[in-house]
């Protein structure tokens, strides 16, 4: 019997429903494979996109979302996908996966990029340079709320109970105002540029009930901590967060994630995806302390015009001075300038 060949083409708006139906059903796909990210890449960040669709016998058998990031400061790349922790090919079979990756390499070379980057969960190209900086933390939830509380290691569980004892309250917000206040202050204290308020408003408008914001208040109503989460299939992914300086002493951060976990459990969600962390950071340790085990992420690079992997992250020593300068900058000015920088970091 003759094998049916795979064809690859650029996806159009007319493919949106079929693309997303495939993403929803594919075990290899993630929230960041949804077609709506194409619009966000274009409209919020101004990046050119190349969304590739593989078909076999008239049906979708694979997708590969790509965005071109071109910056004088940070280089020229084709990435799957900027601002997402997961990316790369999602395909039914290896023939479709290879066809999509081959077309991506052709496009990358035609664009004359420095490198092509796939943010894979599983390794695909053992002969490509790989970034081993990042891990992800995922855990199945029990359908029983109390069982999830008891699954938290004792020391961290004590912090959750401290937050409860302190009279903290978690509320879901109808808009992003309180979240953005905490988020932008938090990243400014760490010396990194903030995403724009427009970006977060676009996420809420685009994804609707698949995107929520939960904010923790003190008993006096003071804002302490906030988190924006994504919902995909039976998973929840707390993705962007911010905390006030007072949050640590009141255990607001632990309380926040417990309340989100409790909410997820009551909503019938089965997987809590704590997301990506850099190895050796405070975020990495925090998630480990919650009883989550790290799984390596396989960010693979095809290098064309560079000899080494890009290091466009705060752990790069060459950004140390820039981080210190950013911390001293008035936050109002940093919030205006930040989006123009961060759009090219991805």
pLDDT score of 144 more than 60:
yes
> What is the mean pLDDT of the segment spanning 180-206?
94
> Given this model, what pLDDT does residue 313 score?
63
Pick the CATH number of 6-120 from 3.30.2010.10, 3.40.50.300, 3.40.630.30, 3.40.605.10: 3.40.630.30
Report pLDDT digits (tens) over 217-236: 999 999 999 999 999 999 99
In the structure encoding, which two tokens stand for residue 145, read together? 């709320």
Report pLDDT digits (tens) over 231-258: 999 999 999 999 999 999 999 999 999 9
Euclidean distance between CA atoms 58 and 252, whole angstroms: 52
Percent of the chain surpassing pLDDT 70: 97
Confidence of residue 308 (pLDDT cuts 50, 70, 90): confident
- Helix 197-207 to helix 36-43 angle, to the nearest 10 degrees? 160
- What are the residues facing 65 on neighbouring strands? 51
> Given this model, what pLDDT does residue 326 score?
75
**How many residues in total does the chain contain?**
346
Inter-residue contact 113 to 68 (CB < 8 Å): yes
Domain boundaries, the chain: 6-120, 135-295
Report pLDDT digits (tens) over 278-287: 998 999 999 9
> Given this model, what pLDDT does residue 3 score?
66
> Given this model, what pLDDT does residue 319 score?
65
Report pLDDT digits (tens) over 86-124: 999 999 999 999 999 999 999 999 999 999 999 999 999
Euclidean distance between CA atoms 214 and 11, whole angstroms: 35
> Given this model, what pLDDT does residue 289 score?
95
Residue with tokens 């970091």: 345
Residue with tokens 């039976």: 234
Q: CA dist 334 to 30, 258, 272, Å? A: 32, 31, 33
Please tell me if the domain spanning 6-120 has the same topology as the one spanning 135-295. Answer: yes
> Given this model, what pLDDT does residue 312 score?
61
As its CATH architecture, domain 135-295 has 3-Layer(aba) Sandwich (3.40)
> Given this model, what pLDDT does residue 1 score?
44
pLDDT score of 19 more than 90:
yes
> What is the mean pLDDT of the segment spanning 285-312?
90
> Given this model, what pLDDT does residue 325 score?
79
Q: pTM of the prediction?
A: 0.93
Euclidean distance between CA atoms 197 and 272, whole angstroms: 26
Q: 150: part of which helix (H) or strand (E)?
A: helix 145-151
Euclidean distance between CA atoms 88 and 98, whole angstroms: 11
């Amino acid at each position: 019997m003759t094998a049916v060949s795979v064809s690859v083409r650029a996806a159009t708006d007319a493919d949106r429903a079929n693309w997303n139906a495939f993403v929803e059903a594919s075990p290899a796909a993630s929230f960041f494979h949804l077609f709506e990210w194409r619009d966000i890449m274009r409209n919020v960040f101004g990046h050119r996109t190349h969304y590739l669709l593989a078909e076999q016998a008239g049906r979708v058998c694979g997708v590969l979302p790509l965005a071109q990031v071109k910056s004088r400061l940070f280089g020229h790349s084709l990435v799957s996908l900027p601002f997402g922790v997961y990316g790369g090919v999602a395909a039914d079979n290896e023939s479709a996966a290879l066809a999509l990756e081959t077309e991506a390499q052709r496009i990358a070379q035609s664009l004359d990029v420095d490198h092509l980057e796939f943010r894979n969960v599983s390794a695909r190209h053992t002969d490509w340079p790989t970034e081993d900086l990042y891990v992800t933390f995922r855990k199945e939830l029990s359908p029983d709320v109390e069982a999830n509380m008891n699954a938290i290691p004792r020391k961290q569980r004590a912090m959750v109970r401290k937050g409860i004892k302190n009279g903290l309250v978690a509320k879901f917000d109808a808009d992003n105002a309180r979240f953005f206040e905490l988020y932008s202050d938090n990243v400014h204290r760490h010396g990194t540029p903030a995403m724009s308020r427009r970006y977060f408003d676009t996420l809420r408008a685009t994804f609707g009930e698949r995107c929520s914001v939960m904010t923790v208040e003190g008993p006096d109503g003071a804002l302490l901590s906030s988190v924006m989460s994504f919902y995909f299939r039976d998973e929840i992914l707390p993705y962007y967060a911010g905390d006030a300086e007072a949050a640590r002493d009141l255990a607001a951060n632990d309380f926040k994630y417990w309340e989100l976990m409790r909410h997820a459990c009551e909503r019938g969600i089965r997987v809590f995806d704590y997301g990506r962390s850099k190895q050796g950071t405070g975020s990495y340790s925090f998630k480990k302390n919650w009883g989550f085990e790290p799984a390596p992420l396989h960010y693979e690079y095809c290098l064309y015009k560079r000899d080494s992997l890009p290091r466009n992250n705060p752990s790069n020593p060459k950004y140390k001075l820039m981080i210190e300068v950013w911390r001293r900058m008035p936050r109002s000015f940093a919030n205006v300038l930040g989006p123009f920088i961060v759009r090219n970091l991805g």
